[in-house]
Amino acid sequence: MRKVMVTLMFLTLICAGVYAANLTIRAFDVVTLEELDWNIGTGAEIYFNGLPTGHKTPHEFVNYQSGDYSVQRTGYIDWLPVAVTFNATNANVEFSFWGVPTGITPVTLNSFTSTYDASNQGVKLTWVSQSEVIMLGYRLYRGETPVQADAVLITPTMIEANNSSEVSIYQHTDMEIEAGHTYYYWLESVDMVGSQFFNPVTITIEDVTSTETPAITPSLSGGPNPFKAGTSTNLYYSVKAGETGTLTVYNILGQVVKTHKVTEGSDQLIKWDGRDSKGNVCASGVYFYKLSTPSLNETRKLVIVD
């Protein structure tokens, strides 16, 4: 009789989707990698089939039920994954959700440029990011009209992101081009939550019989910004063909700190070590760097911190 009752109880548990196994739900911040723990007041609320369980992470459900589990917490815009379905078995399970904080900026882009690479007879695409977080990578698209929907993907394999808090430089050369055509290129950044497109850059490929040098678009950017006193930062610039000029750093009073001579070329770099023309370390504060050429006079702000 006792054996029959035990068997019936076991069958009842199976029918109800309840097994003699435990499920542990945990949650972490995807940026800091810190665990969200109710013991220190940061736990995420755990939901079962869309309803609150009254428990916060980390929590172990004894003899857990089959169904959908998810978590929520103020200050987090999304969760990876949004929810997960568990089918109860006789094996213990542990699962972690990853929270994306509200207001996070996956990537800060400094520049995105296109130039003709004569040596490879292709279009060299260069982009510089100031900082990256929760990034997966980048994709590039090419079109012959300014309509993004008409563009085609030219990087089937995603270009992996560095996910660095410092400046990162990426390059890709598109070889599938023809002389006499104008091309538009879009950059798509892909992160753990979604993706975004950046406005296209354009370039016209001169006919192979042309003796003209492909046009260079003058530009100026820099980073890391701010940077610590005693370290260095990168100043990126492009100077139009046939032109020369100066790249000058000024202090907040407009006094010249250091001047560099620049010549024609694209995607050039000056690494400034934060020192003046006499070799003295510059104090923390606000500075400006200016690119002066016949076709461009552009000034940007730079900050040195202790």
Task: Yes or no: say if 248 and 260 are a contact pair by the CB < 8 Å rule.
Answer: yes
Asked if 184 and 202 count as a contact pair (C-beta separation under 8 A), the reply is: yes
User: pLDDT at position 241, please?
Assistant: 86
How far is 169 from 234, CA to CA, in rounded Å?
11
Q: Quick one: pLDDT at residue 6?
A: 34
CA atoms within 13 A on the CB side of 263: 0
What is the distance between the alpha carbons of residues 21 and 9, in angstroms, rounded to a whole number? 16
Residue 154: name the closest of 180, 181, 175 by CA.
Answer: 175
The rounded mean pLDDT for the chain is 87
Residue 268's pLDDT is: 87
- Tokens describing residue 297: 């006079």
In the chain, the domains with their CATH numbers are: 2-101 (2.60.40), 107-204 (2.60.40.10), 219-305 (2.60.40.1930)
CB 168 within 8 A of CB 189: no
Residue 8 has pLDDT above 60, yes or no: no
How does residue 1 score in pLDDT terms, banded at 50, 70 and 90?
A: very low
Banded pLDDT at 212 (limits 50, 70, 90)? low
Confidence label for 214 from pLDDT (cuts 50, 70 and 90): low
| pLDDT tens digits, one per residue of 266-306 | 888 888 989 999 999 999 999 999 999 988 888 899 999 98
pLDDT value of position 210: 46
- How sure is the predictor about 10, in pLDDT bands with cuts at 50, 70 and 90? very low
Cis peptide before 214 (omega within 30 of 0): no
Contact 287, 250 (CB under 8 A): yes
Q: What is the pLDDT of residue 58?
A: 97
**22-57 residue pLDDT tens:** 999 999 998 888 999 999 999 999 999 999 999 999
Distances (CA, A) of 71 to 44, 65, 67, 180: 6, 16, 14, 55
Residue 26: name the closest of 65, 62, 69, 67 by CA.
Answer: 69
- What pLDDT score does 105 carry? 87
pLDDT of residue 201: 92
Q: Beta strand pairing status for 227-228 and 219-223?
A: unpaired
Least confident of 24-28, 70-74, 178-182, 208-212: 208-212
Q: What is the pLDDT of residue 3?
A: 40
| Banded model confidence at residue 120, pLDDT cuts 50, 70, 90 | confident
- Is-contact 57 125, C-beta < 8 A? no
> Is 70 exceeded by the pLDDT of residue 2?
no
In sequence order, which residues have a C-beta less than 8 Å from that of residue 110 and are 6 or more positions away?
128, 129, 130, 167, 221, 222, 223, 236
The full 3-state SS of 148-183, as one line of letters, equals: HHHCEECCCCCEECCCCCCCEEEEEEECCCCCCCEE
Q: Tell me how far apart the alpha carbons of residues 231 and 237 are, in angstroms, rounded to a whole number.
A: 20
- Residue 222 CB: number of other CB atoms within 10 A? 24
The 10s digit of each residue's pLDDT in 249-270 is 999 888 999 999 998 888 888 8
Residue 216: band (very low, low, confident or very high) from pLDDT cuts 50, 70, 90: confident
